[in-house]
């Protein structure tokens, strides 16, 4: 505890998300998801290797096609104390990046060893709100009732609220119920980590509630952020088919259980770093200016509740001397389709 109080690991962790962002942003709009993933993973892995922790990846991407990702069980860091769980998503919103669209980010989190919920498979139905509405949500209640409670807790009207969700056919009924309740809707094409963070922030982000079904690993990353920001999330597994159901049950998961922030992130020492890859509402994307690049990051720490925004300028020549071509992505590779 003393060591973690002395060290803000979110600042150190931001080097890993910056590295992933710098490498991945080089292939923005080139419609090469594999190249983007490879670049981000290589750069993040390299940056994590110098972090003075004994880290074990518990939330990663697993094996994603031909691209070797940061895998569950992989050890990262120098091996020195503290012993920590590591959750990473080198690119949340890889299709956004591949198509040159806004909102792609790189995100990573650290927490005490054996405190993060570990799952790689499946989807979760989620509802996320900020601190003022933390006690108001009940994922088993009707959508209209949840929105009424949230509005009451916020001292607002339901039609003041903006609900964000992924634009998916599975959400047709949810969209209908939110509209009938009177709230506004913001549909996103991919990546619900950044909107989940925005829903929990006290600042006026334009997003009040995250609802709907998204990835289960992303739920753990959102929970880590909520440990720092306050707010609340409730979620439950949403197996896509019988095979998903059988695998989740074999892993020992209770599919009827309602999971909260404390279920997904039990620790009290949590650090989160997020760096923008493409321009988004939460963070600006990477900017390249000759021999330099600029990144914008958000860092959070649970013990103090401290939140920092940081803009950094990177000397690409010096980075190349230190890290070789890892932060350059595949900018010199000719891609043919």
pLDDT reported for residue 120:
65
CA 166 to chain centre: 14
In a shared domain, residues 98 and 147 = no
In a shared domain, residues 154 and 180 = yes
Rounded Cα distance between 240 and 120, Å, is 14
- For 91-106, what is each residue's pLDDT tens digit? 999 999 999 999 999 9
Could you tell me which residue, 193 or 71, shows the higher pLDDT? 193
Does 1 reside within a domain?
no
In a shared domain, residues 136 and 105 = no
pTM to 2 decimals?
Answer: 0.92
| Percent over 90 (pLDDT), the chain | 75
Decide which of 245, 264, 283 is a domain's last residue: 264
The mean predicted confidence, pLDDT, of the chain is 90
Paired with 243 in beta bridges are none
Binding residues: 37, 61, 89, 92, 218
pLDDT reported for residue 334:
42
Phi, psi of 228 (to 5 degrees): -90, -35
- For 136-194, what is each residue's pLDDT tens digit? 999 999 999 999 999 999 999 999 999 999 999 999 999 999 999 999 999 999 999 99
pLDDT reported for residue 186:
97
User: Which stretch, 108-122, 132-146, 315-329, has highest mean pLDDT?
Assistant: 132-146
Binding residues for Mn(2+): 37, 61, 89, 92, 218
Residue linked to tokens 């549909």: 187
In a shared domain, residues 22 and 41 = yes
pLDDT reported for residue 145:
98
pLDDT reported for residue 337:
38
* Structural domain boundaries, residue 161: 123-264
Q: In 3D, which of 58, 106, 98, 48 has the Cα closest to residue 78?
A: 48
CATH code, 230: 3.40.190.90
Sequence-separated (6 or more) residues with CB below 8 Å from residue 6: none
97, 69 in Cβ contact below 8 A?
no
> How many structural domains is the chain composed of?
2
pLDDT reported for residue 64:
47
- For 271-282, what is each residue's pLDDT tens digit? 999 999 999 999
Does residue 120 sit in helix, strand or coil?
Answer: coil
pLDDT reported for residue 14:
97
Strands (E), the chain: 54-59, 63-64, 67-68, 75-76, 83-92, 105-112, 123-129, 162-166, 184-188, 209-215, 232-238, 259-260, 270-276, 287-289, 292-301, 307-315
- For 210-255, what is each residue's pLDDT tens digit? 999 999 999 999 999 999 999 999 999 999 889 888 888 888 888 8
pLDDT reported for residue 330:
56
CATH code, 297: 3.30.540.10
Does 281 reside within a domain?
yes
Q: In 3D, which of 205, 197, 269 has the Cα closest to residue 230?
A: 197
In a shared domain, residues 16 and 96 = yes
In a shared domain, residues 133 and 217 = yes
Enclosing H/E stretch for 133: none
Does 300 reside within a domain?
yes
Residue linked to tokens 């003022």: 132
């Amino acid at each position: 505890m003393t060591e973690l109080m002395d060290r803000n690991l979110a600042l150190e962790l931001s080097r890993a998300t910056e590295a992933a962002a710098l490498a991945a942003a080089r292939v923005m709009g080139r419609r090469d998801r594999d190249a983007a993933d490879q670049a981000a993973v290589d750069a993040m892995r390299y940056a994590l290797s110098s972090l003075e922790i004994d880290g074990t990846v518990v939330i990663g991407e697993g094996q994603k096609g031909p691209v070797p990702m940061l895998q569950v069980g992989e050890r990262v860091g120098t091996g020195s104390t503290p012993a920590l769980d590591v959750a990473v998503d080198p690119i949340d919103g890889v299709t956004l990046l591949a198509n040159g669209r806004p909102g792609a980010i790189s995100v990573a989190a650290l927490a005490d060893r054996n405190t993060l919920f570990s799952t790689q498979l499946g989807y979760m139905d989620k509802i996320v709100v900020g601190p003022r509405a933390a006690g108001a949500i009940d994922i088993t209640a009707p959508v209209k009732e949840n929105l009424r409670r949230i509005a009451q807790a916020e001292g607002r009207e339901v039609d003041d609220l903006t609900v964000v969700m992924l634009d998916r056919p599975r959400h047709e009924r949810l969209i209908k119920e939110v509209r009938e309740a009177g709230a506004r809707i913001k549909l996103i094409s991919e990546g619900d980590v950044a909107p989940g963070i925005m829903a929990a922030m006290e600042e006026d982000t334009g997003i009040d509630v995250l609802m709907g079904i998204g990835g289960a690993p992303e739920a753990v990353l959102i929970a880590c952020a909520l440990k720092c920001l306050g707010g609340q999330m409730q979620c439950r597994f949403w197996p896509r088919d019988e095979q998903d159901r059988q695998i989740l049950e074999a892993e020992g998961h209770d599919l009827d259980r309602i999971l909260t922030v404390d279920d997904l992130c039990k620790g009290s020492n949590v650090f989160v770093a997020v760096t923008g890859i493409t321009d988004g509402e939460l963070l600006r994307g990477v900017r390249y200016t000759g021999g330099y690049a600029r990144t914008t990051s958000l860092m959070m720490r649970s013990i103090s509740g401290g939140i920092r925004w940081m803009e950094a300028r990177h000397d690409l020549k010096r980075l190349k001397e230190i890290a070789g071509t890892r932060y350059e992505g595949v900018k010199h590779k000719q891609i043919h389709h």
